[in-house]
Amino acid sequence: MKIDSKRPELIFEEKKAIKLFLWIFLVTYIIYDLYWYLFIPAYTHAKTIKFPDGGFGYWRYFLIFFMLVISIFLIKKDKIFGVKYFILISYFSIDFLDTFLKYFHTSKEFASGHIVELFFVLFAPIFVNKKYFWITSLVVILKYFLLGVTLHTKMVIFPIVLIIVISGISYFLLMRFCSYIVSLTSVYEELKKKEKLAVVGQMAAAIGHEIRNPLSSLKGFTQFQHEQYPNTNDFYPIMIDEIDRIDSIVTDLMYIGKPKALMIEKTSIQEIITYTVSVSKQHADRQGISIEVKLDDQVPLIDGDEKRLKQVFINLIKNAIEAMPDGGKIKIKVHLFQGNQICISIEDDGCGIEKENIKSLGEPFFSTKTDGTGLGLMVTKQIIMDHNGSFKIQSEIGKGTKVDVILSIINKQ
Ligand code: ADP
Ligand code: MG
pLDDT surpassing 60 at residue 48: no
Please check whether residue 289 is in contact with residue 328, taking contact to mean a CB–CB distance below 8 angstroms.
yes
Check if 317 has its Cβ closer than 6 Å to any atom of ligand 1: no
pLDDT at 110: 74
Q: What's the pLDDT tens digit per position in 349-363?
A: 999 999 999 989 988
Check if 349 has its Cβ closer than 6 Å to any atom of ligand 1: no
Going by alpha carbons, the residue nearest to atom 20 of ligand 1 is: 319
pLDDT at 50: 58
pLDDT at 145: 92
Does residue 104 or residue 280 have the better pLDDT? 280
Q: In a 10 Å sphere around its CB, with 0-12 CB exposed, 13-18 middle and 19+ buried, how is residue 77 labelled? A: exposed
pLDDT surpassing 90 at residue 262: no
Please check whether residue 395 is in contact with residue 358, taking contact to mean a CB–CB distance below 8 angstroms.
yes
Mean pLDDT of the residues in the chain: 88
Cα 153 to middle of ligand 2, angstroms: 73
pLDDT surpassing 70 at residue 69: yes
Q: What's the pLDDT tens digit per position in 103-125?
A: 887 777 777 778 888 889 988 99
pLDDT surpassing 90 at residue 346: yes
Q: What's the pLDDT tens digit per position in 229-254?
A: 877 777 888 888 889 888 888 888 88
pLDDT at 51: 58
Does residue 236 or residue 333 have the better pLDDT? 333
Count of other CB atoms within 10 angstroms of residue 324: 20
Q: Which 3 state secondary structure label does DSSP give 293?
A: strand
Q: Ligand 1, from 367, 373, 378, 392: best to mutate by most atoms within 8 Å of Cβ? A: 367
Count of other CB atoms within 10 angstroms of residue 251: 15
Average confidence (pLDDT) over 36-63: 73
Radius of gyration for the alpha carbons in the chain, expressed in angstroms and rounded: 35
Please check whether residue 113 is in contact with residue 151, taking contact to mean a CB–CB distance below 8 angstroms.
no
pLDDT at 257: 62
pLDDT at 353: 96
Cα 375 to middle of ligand 1, angstroms: 9
Q: 206-225: buried (b, 16+ CB within 10 Å) or exposed (e) per residue? A: eebeebeeebeeebeebeee
Cα 332 to middle of ligand 2, angstroms: 17
301 Cβ contact list (under 8 Å, min separation 6): 266, 267, 268, 269, 409
